[in-house]
């Protein structure tokens, strides 16, 4: 059975599209994994990623232009195995959609992968400059290294 991983942020145009693109690139060729992303807010449904996310991805040879924003649903909490949220707000919004304890347990701050137990957020770069996007990229790259390693070892 496929392992299904969902990356979640607020708008699904800045952070989670990067997380989706980065993790997919690390798993290239592994057909047993599905990676998707969604947002807890409906502001950017149907839109391509933010141009600043597209630009930073391109700098690292990733093409995320084909992604489109979509809203996180209660069904996602049933279908996906691991739901990685970017910050505490996303965490609370995602948990509200859960209809059981096992569904709640799927939701985890993505930076727990790097800093377990420290509740560190991936900062929202939307109102920041390009440096914010560079920082976000680096954090997500490190977290996705750990996630892809766990997938390869059968932990996820």
- Residues paired with residue 107 on neighbouring β-strands, in sequence order: 83
Binding characters for ligand 4NP, 31-50, by CB under 6 A (x = yes): ------------xx------
Find the angle CA(46)-CA(61)-CA(11) to the nearest 5 degrees: 25
What's the CA gap between 121 and 61, in Å, rounded?
Answer: 25
The footprint of ligand 4NP on residues 112-131 (CB under 6 A) is 124, 126
Residue 5 vs 49, nearer CB to ligand 4NP: 49
Residue nearest to ligand 4NP (CB): 11
Q: Does 12 help bind ligand 4NP (rule: CB under 6 A)? A: yes
The footprint of ligand 4NP on residues 15-34 (CB under 6 A) is 15
Active-site residue identified among 76, 87, 93, 124: 124
Q: Does 111 help bind ligand 4NP (rule: CB under 6 A)? A: no
Q: Does 140 help bind ligand 4NP (rule: CB under 6 A)? A: no
Q: Does 51 help bind ligand 4NP (rule: CB under 6 A)? A: no
Tell me if residue 52 is catalytic.
Answer: no
Alpha helices by DSSP H, listed for the chain, are: 15-26, 51-59, 74-79, 88-97, 101-105, 130-152
> 137-142: long-range contacts (C-beta < 8 A, 24 or more apart)?
137/18, 137/22, 137/56, 137/57, 137/60, 139/111, 139/114, 140/15, 140/18, 140/19, 140/22, 140/110, 141/22, 141/60, 142/114
Q: Does 14 help bind ligand 4NP (rule: CB under 6 A)? A: yes
Catalytically annotated residues: 9, 15, 124
Residues contributing to the site for ligand 4NP (CB under 6 A): 9-15, 43-44, 124, 126
């Amino acid at each position: 059975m496929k392992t299904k991983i969902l990356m979640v942020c607020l708008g699904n145009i800045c952070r989670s599209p990067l997380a989706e693109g980065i993790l997919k690139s690390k798993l290239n060729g592994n057909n047993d994994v599905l990676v998707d992303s969604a947002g807890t807010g409906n502001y950017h449904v149907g839109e391509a990623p933010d141009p600043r996310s597209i630009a930073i991805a391109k700098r690292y040879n990733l093409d995320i232009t084909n992604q489109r924003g979509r809203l996180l649903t209660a069904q996602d909490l049933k279908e996906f195995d691991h739901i990685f949220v970017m910050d505490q707000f996303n965490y609370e919004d995602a948990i509200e959609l859960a209809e059981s304890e096992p569904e709640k347990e799927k939701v985890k701050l993505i930076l727990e992968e790097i800093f377990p137990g420290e509740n560190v957020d991936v900062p929202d770069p939307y109102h920041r400059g390009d440096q914010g996007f560079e920082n976000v990229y680096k954090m997500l790259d490190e977290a996705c290294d750990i996630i892809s390693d766990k997938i390869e070892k059968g932990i996820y």
